[in-house]
Amino acid sequence: MNTFELDQTYIAGTYKRFPVEIVSGKGSLVKDVNGKEYIDMGSGIAVTSFGVADDVWIDAVEKQIRSVQHMSNLYYTAPCAKLAEALCKKTGMAKVFFSNSGAEANECAIKAARKWAAEHKGPACSTIVTLENSFHGRTLTTLAATGQEHYHELYQPLTPGFASFPAGDLDALKKLCANGTVAAVLIECVQGEGGVIPLDPGFAKELAAYLKEQDILLMVDEVQTGNGRSGKLYAYMTYGLEPDVVSTAKGLAGGLPMGATLLGDKVKDVFSYGDHGSTFGGNPVAAAAALSVVERLTDDFLADVTRKSNLIRNLLDGAPGIGSISGLGLMLGLKTSKPAGEVVAACMANGVLCLTAKDKVRLLPALNIPDDLLVKAAEVIKEACKP
């Protein structure tokens, strides 16, 4: 059997894959099994921050793999300690818990909020409020956090203690908070899976001020927006927010599984021995990869992410069949007159891999995608969008 047949036969049918088998790549170019080359405008859903098989990334991973690949959290290893230091120094957060995915990073955020609130406000204060149309992961608890009913239907009962409200409607949040049972509010600065929808900056400020006044935790899910994707290290920085908890994953380790939950001053000591854990969390290879990624996200590099963002926005803006462009940095959503799926299929036929998010075409290229590839990709996308 070929890969397609093996996959259809033996892999649980959760993914509707594109009919392409990728075998290799370099940077923002990948090759399929037939030798056809594509410009990768998805970077594995915002994961390969510096593209495929990047040399600096390979060196960091290889060096660590040849030393020790795993020891568990029963022992000290340097890469995760150094990574935690780098993340804290660059964000002003106080402590980090490492896991292996975005859902786990959010699970940790939720556990931190529940424990903090139980200790500071009493056990009745346990509700986590999220935004409607949000996406926070696929575990039963992060599904409960995800403010989209259609994800919930098949898996009842979900973890209790979650509620959601429409972005922009502070009064709705105030109603949810009225009885004093809300521990934390978890937001995405730009809803990714929800359709690349940025939070209104004015509302974000109002929300943050209200939560501070009420001593309710502000938690930001930076699983997709984080690690340079937005043009800042974390998107909350663009919004001028001071979150109590930040979760991240996807692009953090540039292509290896890693999640991180950053704890601010209020919650930095919420966990003690045995309160939480992960066998693989902080794995030295993933941590070495992440440290190499984070060290490269300098101010100059991030300014270039913003420049590249403007470059592609300008190339696509106003093109026939492209209605509007949303997002931040290199996380962009195109509203197209043709169905997004059709545009993505046409792009793929012409050698450009794009994604969708709800009814939009979603672009998440590597942060270091060369300008000439961005220009080429924009031409193919424009052609595909033409009505």
Cα–Cα distance, 41 to 310 (Å, whole number): 15
Query: Which range touches ligand PLP (CB under 6 A), out of 12-20, 79-87, 163-171, 217-225?
Result: 217-225
Query: Which range touches ligand PLP (CB under 6 A), out of 24-32, 98-106, 303-311, 379-387?
Result: 98-106
Cα–Cα distance, 219 to 270 (Å, whole number): 15
Residue among 175, 71, 75 at smallest CA distance from 129? 175
Q: Compute the least distance from the CB of residue 253 to ligand PLP, in Å.
A: 11
Residue among 49, 23, 54 at smallest CA distance from 38? 23
The pair of structure tokens assigned to 44 is 């594995």
Q: Given candidates 130, 224, 227, 261, which one binds ligand PLP under the rule CB under 6 A?
A: 224
136 binds ligand PLP (CB under 6 A): yes
Q: Compute the least distance from the CB of residue 249 to ligand PLP, in Å.
A: 5
Binding to ligand PLP, residues 279-308 (CB under 6 A): none
Q: Compute the least distance from the CB of residue 379 to ligand PLP, in Å.
A: 28
Residue closer to ligand PLP by CB (options 47, 322) is 47
Cα–Cα distance, 259 to 93 (Å, whole number): 16
Strands 29-32 and 259-263: unpaired
Q: Where are the alpha helices (DSSP H) in the chain?
A: 3-10, 43-46, 55-67, 78-91, 102-121, 140-145, 170-177, 201-214, 235-238, 284-296, 299-316, 340-349, 371-385
Q: Compute the least distance from the CB of residue 34 to ligand PLP, in Å.
A: 29
Query: Which range touches ligand PLP (CB under 6 A), out of 32-40, 54-62, 133-141, 356-364?
Result: 133-141
Instruction: State the Cα torsion 223-247-209-179 to the nearest 10°.
Output: 110
Query: Which range touches ligand PLP (CB under 6 A), out of 26-34, 99-107, 209-217, 280-288?
Result: 99-107
Cα–Cα distance, 20 to 15 (Å, whole number): 13
Cα–Cα distance, 162 to 145 (Å, whole number): 6
User: CB of 209 within 8 A of CB of 218?
Assistant: no
Question: Can you tell me which residue has the tokens 């649980």?
Answer: 12
Residue closer to ligand PLP by CB (options 223, 260) is 223
Q: Is 98 helix (H, G, I), strand (E, B) or coil?
A: strand
360 binds ligand PLP (CB under 6 A): no
Size of the site for ligand PLP (CB under 6 A): 15
329 binds ligand PLP (CB under 6 A): no
The pair of structure tokens assigned to 98 is 């490492």
Tell me, what DSSP letter sits at residue 280?
S
Q: Mask of contacts with ligand PLP, 100-129, x by CB under 6 A? A: -xxx--x-----------------------
CA 335 to chain centre: 21
Residue closer to ligand PLP by CB (options 40, 193) is 193
Q: Compute the least distance from the CB of residue 96 to ligand PLP, in Å.
A: 17
Residue closer to ligand PLP by CB (options 84, 258) is 258
98 binds ligand PLP (CB under 6 A): no
Q: Given candidates 223, 288, 348, 369, which one binds ligand PLP under the rule CB under 6 A?
A: 223
Residue closer to ligand PLP by CB (options 105, 183) is 105
Question: Can you tell me which residue has the tokens 């006044």?
Answer: 213
User: What's the maximum distance between 2 C-alpha atoms anywhere in the chain?
Assistant: 61
User: CB of 46 within 8 A of CB of 224?
Assistant: yes
Binding to ligand PLP, residues 140-199 (CB under 6 A): 188, 192-193
Cβ-closest position to ligand PLP? 102
Q: Compute the least distance from the CB of residue 83 to ligand PLP, in Å.
A: 17
Residue closer to ligand PLP by CB (options 106, 283) is 106
Q: Compute the least distance from the CB of residue 192 to ligand PLP, in Å.
A: 4
25 binds ligand PLP (CB under 6 A): no
Footprint of ligand PLP (CB under 6 A): 101-103, 106, 135-137, 188, 192-193, 221, 223-224, 249-250
